[in-house]
Structure 1
Amino acid sequence: MTAELVRGQNHTLPQTRLEIRVSAGSPVVAGATLGDENGTVRGVEWIAHPGAHRLPGLEVSRQAAAGHRLAVDLEALPDEVHRVTVLLALPTGAGGPTRFGATAAPFVAVTGLDGTEIATFTLTGLDAESAVSALELYRRQGAWKVRAVGQGYAAGLAEMLADQGLAGAAELAASIQEAVARSLARSVAPPPPRTPEGDRVRHASGPSDAHPPTAPQPQPTAHPPTVHQPTAPQSATHPPSASQPQPTAHPSTAPQPTASQPQPTAHPPTGTGPGTQTAPAAPTAAGPINYAHPRRQHAAPPPPPPAAPSAEPGQAPQPVAGDATGWSMDERLYNQIWGMFEDLARSAAAYRSAVDFAESRMGQELDRSLSDPRNRIGGTGDRAREEARAKRDELIARAREVLDRDLAQLAAEAAVVEPALPAAYAGWDNPVWHAHRIPMELPMALRIGDLHLPERTDLRIPLLVRLPLERGIWVDSGRTASEAAALMDTDRLRRLAMETAVLHAARLLAVYPPGEFSVHVIDPAGSAAGSLAPLVDAGVLAGPPAAGPGGVASVLAHLTRRVDLVQMAVRAGAADALPPDLDTGEQLLVVNDFPHGFDDRAVTQLRYLADEGPSVGVHLLMVADREDASAYGPVLDPLWRSLLRITPVADNHLADPWVGHAWTYEPPATPPGSRVLEQVLAAVTAARRAAGR
């Protein structure tokens, strides 16, 4: 039975290889410290945190998240370690709560590798604390136990580390928060949290016999174990219904608590990517889940269609396009794509963890065998090495077999889903664009490229961002952006970056109803005239590209005024008082070659638009080399971090919101010789004329 601990209570651990699962009402930083027999942390090398997430026998998440899974192998810890303390802290500067009393009580569970709960603890009674020692695993008379601690610290992470005897606690706390900020800046935000109605039909076959990995896997849903367990890496569940409330990065719900416990919030970790702008706050302990979505009634979405029958008994069902829940086929496909994204992330995580475990186990076996000097020479040592390597190879082969099965299943699903995608989700090479008509309603999301992992580079996952955009986009035109960019000519790279921005702007124009989306362009030196030609020739821009200091100042003043007026109207509840000449439709500002042509006032206005614009429908699409802005020092760091960075050439800089893998991003591109861009922009122009806009 699961032991439901209260503060100060302990419980014997029946096994030494464990997972510690954390669920919180908002993104938290999870870490762990190792302590000696006196509970003292001897140095920074005894602390696992997002900046150094792996120690012998211990691995934690690399990012702030509302859900975590920490892996612990007590037998692999150094002999002098007698205590493992799990720490939680609120990230600073992330716009979230600054004290635990302002969010749902964190929930922590110690489980076996099969997901069976051993002990749980809900950290109630927290108020002004921004960091807390959640629980500790400690050695007593040769046996390991878990104790519920729940000790909070109002002064935050630095005070908590100092309390454990660490010298330089303040410096380490600052470096941890900086690592978290960097992780958030590269993370793709997840869709809203899943619910029982939001899970799609699983296509995974039976459990695997692959060896359990030691690294933490992404959080399961609060359902029976249908997601990856360390002993059976398999295809993960699909994402939540898109009509559910939105919660960073990067993962998932907590283990299902018992009826006597408060229900933890079921958030995936929030990234800094775009999410659901109109969604309300997540449900808390009591009360039903609130489904809210623009222009939709407040009710649960209909269930997904039944899965196709298996071709043969015992085989997985054939994949079906739109097998997730949703109000429409678009919403079902959106959820299904996010589910494929999550499936691939978890399958790769299980495989990589299994490989890490196999390598670690081989090293431990060799160390034990060769610790006796008599075994270091002759046939005994050679046999020990061969046996250890054979065991490693067997474990890796079994893990690879499971991964290949999952990848083949996902590839088959992608082959079914891609042809069924609507234009907003489809690549430029999809025939759906040739018959595209400008919609009368805004779609749920927009495709801005593809993602893949090195385990199978031909398996591409569409990168979808929710509409309206919640954050701007930065197309990095710098040669330091990636190895591929470093090999390119500077002028060609900048031209590619601007062409990428034009494709994004054109796609946005094509999926918004006529007259509800306007595009402004700032090109201070006029260097992007060739790239902008499709937009200019089609007559879809709000005005000619702004050039020179006067043009830059005029456009920024116009958009800043719009943000100010709409914000005041919203706060005063007086939308009818807006000036009649004010365009209340969504606005996109494309900025080329920043910061050239921008004075200090213009830079300040741009930062203002980046921070305040998305909430009132003004969005940024910047084409810039961050190195060019180095003269401004750190003053522009918040600007860069507020934008979703993408590249005009393939680069592995984006992180998923569940595991934090480095995904290779493939920018959108039209097929060679295709005139699909011109056709789409002509359709935009025709739709505007028909609507009298």
Structure 2
Amino acid sequence: RAVGQGYAGGLADLLADQGLPQAHQLAGSINDAVAQGLARSVQAPRADGDRTRHAATPTLGADQGGTAAQGAVPPPPPAAPYGNQASGAPGQPTSPYGAQAPGTPGQPPASPYDPPAAADPPSGAQPGATAGGTVNYSHPRRQTTAPPPPPPTAPPAQPGQPQQPVAGDATGWSMDERLYNQVWGMFEDLARTMAAYRSAVDFADSRMEKELDQALSDPRSRIGGQSDAAREAARARHTELVDQARAALDRDLAQLTAEADVVEPALPAAYARWDNPVWHGHRVPMEIPMALRLGDLHLPEAPQLRIPMLVRLPLERGLWIDSGRADSLDGSYTDSHDLKRLAMETAVAHAARLLAVYPAGEFTVHVIDPAGSGGQALVPLVQTGVLAGPPALGAAGVADVLARLTQRVDLVQMAVRGGAPDSLPPGFDTSEQLLIVNDFPHGFDDRAVTQLRYLADEGPAVGVHLMMVADREEASAYGPLLDPLWRSLLRLSPVPDDHLADPWVGHAWTYEPSLVPPGSQVLQQVLSQLAAARTKYT
């Protein structure tokens, strides 16, 4: 932002221009603090070229035992869903709106459907001959895979009018992937648009203060009406700059709102809100979706524009529904009892969504409720019979569930490391596992806490996921022992709270969980349909 305001040296020059001492040291401290704050940001979509959805049984990787066959060609690096990656920065996702590298002058840009150009054969080698001496009979321009269907296009806009948005107008091999990339594109666009607006307002404020200081620093200007005229001129320039920034923001918000209005109704069940009509015609899917909706995100300058918060599946991190005391953004007060009830309802809504979007028999949910305080919220899951068993009560139930899941993680890890992922015991359940823990650390001893930390660290890699409904203050007796556990989980709140940050600018976004509308029976209908499908499946 400092460079955009005309400071070639960046933040250090801006601070020095403001008259701050030790500007370079202060700028370095600010950059370090920003880097540490990125740890709480929403994870950006990873670059993943594998379009298949893996089941709970992991596959054997090249670094997990076994040697590659001699002469085997390594697979090409995965393609990023947000476009081409810059050379020298592997693994960093790029935006679909980023500029492409210019090609060679005089040559047209390469088509995404053209095969890669072959290297020049060595001297003396015959065309079409491979290193092993065999002849390659494939046509050099023939496609080996079917190209993705073209994305939907909007009708041409009227002259002088912006292009009309259309759902699925993004890159991807399927409509779900296009919508996923489009939602993340809207997320990034709103973050950068708001960053530009806030930067412009900050610059206008700083400029007005600087002009006022200069006008009042000369005692002669305070005589007569010169000071009043200088103040009026500074305020007029400030108002003009702010109005220009607000006009640009309103224009971008109008375009993003129009895009959200066409994208939201087109979202599949995994991405949609519970009040979306797609849930009334929902059928148990045959494959795992790309992502899951956990709630909505918005900024205070545009509360009406809600961005779906989508996370990739299978889950790479556990979830923590914070049931501790939280200050509501609207000034309302929620006592601890209601907050714990809302936290458990949020956990049930997330678990039900996971069960609904996975194929029948591919996702299993376990519940630990030592004191039985979450019985009312768990009624939809218990009555429909979609749980692996009744909620575990007391210390004995906690120990039993944790022991079984820990043994599962150990077995899968040993099979993978031994190079025999198919050698699991007969009748081994290969579905993804989710453990919901309520009222932590009630009912947990030191051994159970150690097992819980082990599941949080090692479980996601082998299909065992954790969802905790807990108040961190209640576990303060363990001290820093549980700090790695809390940091490894994605913190969510049962009430609107601005604790999440985006991975591009670092704005504080207000998160609202995706809950079932009051009085709606859609959750009961979806779970009943899932239970019937499981009966047919088994």
**Other-structure match for 2:179:** 333
Equivalent residue for 1:244, pick from 79, 91, 95: 79
Q: From the superposition, tell whether residues 524 and 180 of structure 1 become closer, same or farther in structure 2 (CA, over 3 Å).
A: farther
Equivalent residue for 1:189, pick from 35, 43, 50: 43
Q: From the superposition, tell whether residues 335 and 350 of structure 1 become closer, same or farther in structure 2 (CA, over 3 Å).
A: same
Q: Aligned ranges for residues 66-465 of structure 1 at < 5 Å?
A: 73=14, 76=17, 78=19, 180-184=35-39, 186-192=40-46, 244-245=79-80, 263-265=88-90, 267-268=92-93, 302=148, 305=151, 307-465=153-311
**Other-structure match for 1:126:** none
Amino acid of the structure 1 residue aligned with 2:456: A
State the alpha-carbon separation in 2 of the partners of residues 353 and 194 from structure 1.
33
Q: From the superposition, tell whether residues 648 and 614 of structure 1 become closer, same or farther in structure 2 (CA, over 3 Å).
A: same
> Which of these two proteins has the greater Rg computed from alpha carbons?
2
Q: From the superposition, tell whether residues 488 and 300 of structure 1 become closer, same or farther in structure 2 (CA, over 3 Å).
A: farther
Any stretches of 5+ residues in structure 2 without a counterpart?
50-77, 95-115, 117-142
State the alpha-carbon separation in 1 of the partners of residues 394 and 459 from structure 2.
23
Amino acid of the structure 2 residue aligned with 1:78: G
Please list the CA deviations of residues 420-463 of structure 1 after superposition, one character each: whole Å capped at 9, or x if unmatched.
01000000000000110010100000001001111111110000
Displacement after TM superposition at 1:306 (Å): 5.8
Q: Which has the higher contact order (CA 8 A, sep 6+)?
A: 2
State the alpha-carbon separation in 2 of the partners of residues 194 and 73 from structure 1.
39
How many equivalent pairs are there?
462
Percent of matched pairs sharing the same residue: 67
Q: Aligned ranges for residues 514-663 of structure 1 at < 5 Å?
A: 514-663=360-509
8 Å Cα contact 2:370/2:392 also seen in 1: yes
State the alpha-carbon separation in 2 of the partners of residues 76 and 576 from structure 1.
66
Secondary structure of 1:244 counterpart: coil
State the alpha-carbon separation in 2 of the partners of residues 253 and 79 from structure 1.
41
**Other-structure match for 1:680:** 526
8 Å Cα contact 1:590/1:621 also seen in 2: yes
Displacement after TM superposition at 1:623 (Å): 0.4
Please list the CA deviations of residues 367-421 of structure 1 after superposition, one character each: whole Å capped at 9, or x if unmatched.
2222211113431111111111110110000000000000000111111001101
Q: From the superposition, tell whether residues 341 and 604 of structure 1 become closer, same or farther in structure 2 (CA, over 3 Å).
A: same
Q: From the superposition, tell whether residues 79 and 531 of structure 1 become closer, same or farther in structure 2 (CA, over 3 Å).
A: closer
State the alpha-carbon separation in 1 of the partners of residues 328 and 482 from structure 2.
21
Q: From the superposition, tell whether residues 362 and 303 of structure 1 become closer, same or farther in structure 2 (CA, over 3 Å).
A: farther
Q: From the superposition, tell whether residues 83 and 520 of structure 1 become closer, same or farther in structure 2 (CA, over 3 Å).
A: closer
Displacement after TM superposition at 1:264 (Å): 4.2
Q: From the superposition, tell whether residues 612 and 79 of structure 1 become closer, same or farther in structure 2 (CA, over 3 Å).
A: closer
Please list the CA deviations of residues 289-310 of structure 1 after superposition, one character each: whole Å capped at 9, or x if unmatched.
xxxxxxxx99897485264234
8 Å Cα contact 1:268/1:658 also seen in 2: no
8 Å Cα contact 1:470/1:614 also seen in 2: yes
Displacement after TM superposition at 1:480 (Å): 3.6
8 Å Cα contact 1:450/1:666 also seen in 2: yes
Displacement after TM superposition at 1:473 (Å): 0.5
Amino acid of the structure 1 residue aligned with 2:44: P
**Other-structure match for 2:357:** 511
State the alpha-carbon separation in 2 of the partners of residues 515 and 15 from structure 1.
54
The structure with the largest helix share of the pair is 2
Secondary structure of 2:500 counterpart: strand
8 Å Cα contact 1:304/1:323 also seen in 2: no
Secondary structure of 1:17 counterpart: coil
The structure with the largest strand share of the pair is 1
Amino acid of the structure 1 residue aligned with 2:312: R
8 Å Cα contact 1:520/1:542 also seen in 2: yes
State the alpha-carbon separation in 2 of the partners of residues 82 and 673 from structure 1.
57
* 1:58 and 2:5 correspond: no
Amino acid of the structure 1 residue aligned with 2:359: P
State the alpha-carbon separation in 1 of the partners of residues 170 and 354 from structure 2.
25
Please list the CA deviations of residues 481-507 of structure 1 after superposition, one character each: whole Å capped at 9, or x if unmatched.
655698112111111110110000000
Displacement after TM superposition at 1:366 (Å): 1.5
Displacement after TM superposition at 1:579 (Å): 1.4
Q: TM-score, normalising length from structure 1?
A: 0.62
Q: Aligned ranges for residues 13-28 of structure 1 at < 5 Å?
A: 17-18=6-7
**Other-structure match for 2:98:** none
Q: From the superposition, tell whether residues 348 and 595 of structure 1 become closer, same or farther in structure 2 (CA, over 3 Å).
A: same
State the alpha-carbon separation in 1 of the partners of residues 274 and 190 from structure 2.
23
Amino acid of the structure 2 residue aligned with 1:470: E
State the alpha-carbon separation in 2 of the partners of residues 654 and 15 from structure 1.
26
Amino acid of the structure 2 residue aligned with 1:500: T
State the alpha-carbon separation in 1 of the partners of residues 151 and 471 from structure 2.
47
Q: From the superposition, tell whether residues 80 and 483 of structure 1 become closer, same or farther in structure 2 (CA, over 3 Å).
A: closer
Secondary structure of 1:530 counterpart: coil
Q: From the superposition, tell whether residues 364 and 303 of structure 1 become closer, same or farther in structure 2 (CA, over 3 Å).
A: farther
8 Å Cα contact 1:16/1:75 also seen in 2: no
How big is the alpha-carbon RMSD for the aligned residues of Structure 1 and Structure 2? 3.1
Amino acid of the structure 2 residue aligned with 1:384: A
8 Å Cα contact 1:514/1:684 also seen in 2: yes
Secondary structure of 1:425 counterpart: coil
**Other-structure match for 2:105:** none
Displacement after TM superposition at 1:511 (Å): 0.5
State the alpha-carbon separation in 1 of the partners of residues 80 and 460 from structure 2.
18
Q: From the superposition, tell whether residues 343 and 485 of structure 1 become closer, same or farther in structure 2 (CA, over 3 Å).
A: same
**Other-structure match for 2:348:** 502
State the alpha-carbon separation in 2 of the partners of residues 244 and 562 from structure 1.
33
**Other-structure match for 1:143:** none
8 Å Cα contact 1:436/1:680 also seen in 2: yes
Displacement after TM superposition at 1:194 (Å): 11
State the alpha-carbon separation in 1 of the partners of residues 301 and 236 from structure 2.
23
**Other-structure match for 2:121:** none
State the alpha-carbon separation in 1 of the partners of residues 232 and 84 from structure 2.
42
State the alpha-carbon separation in 2 of the partners of residues 15 and 552 from structure 1.
56
Q: From the superposition, tell whether residues 177 and 617 of structure 1 become closer, same or farther in structure 2 (CA, over 3 Å).
A: farther
Displacement after TM superposition at 1:639 (Å): 0.7
8 Å Cα contact 1:253/1:265 also seen in 2: no
Q: TM-score, normalising length from structure 2?
A: 0.79
8 Å Cα contact 1:479/1:486 also seen in 2: no
8 Å Cα contact 1:304/1:326 also seen in 2: no
Secondary structure of 2:468 counterpart: strand
Any stretches of 5+ residues in structure 1 without a counterpart?
1-13, 21-56, 60-71, 88-171, 196-242, 257-261, 270-287, 289-296
Secondary structure of 2:270 counterpart: helix
State the alpha-carbon separation in 1 of the partners of residues 244 and 482 from structure 2.
48
Please list the CA deviations of residues 148-187 of structure 1 after superposition, one character each: whole Å capped at 9, or x if unmatched.
xxxxxxxxxxxxxxxxxxxxxxxx7xx9878745541x21
Q: From the superposition, tell whether residues 389 and 266 of structure 1 become closer, same or farther in structure 2 (CA, over 3 Å).
A: farther
State the alpha-carbon separation in 2 of the partners of residues 349 and 300 from structure 1.
40
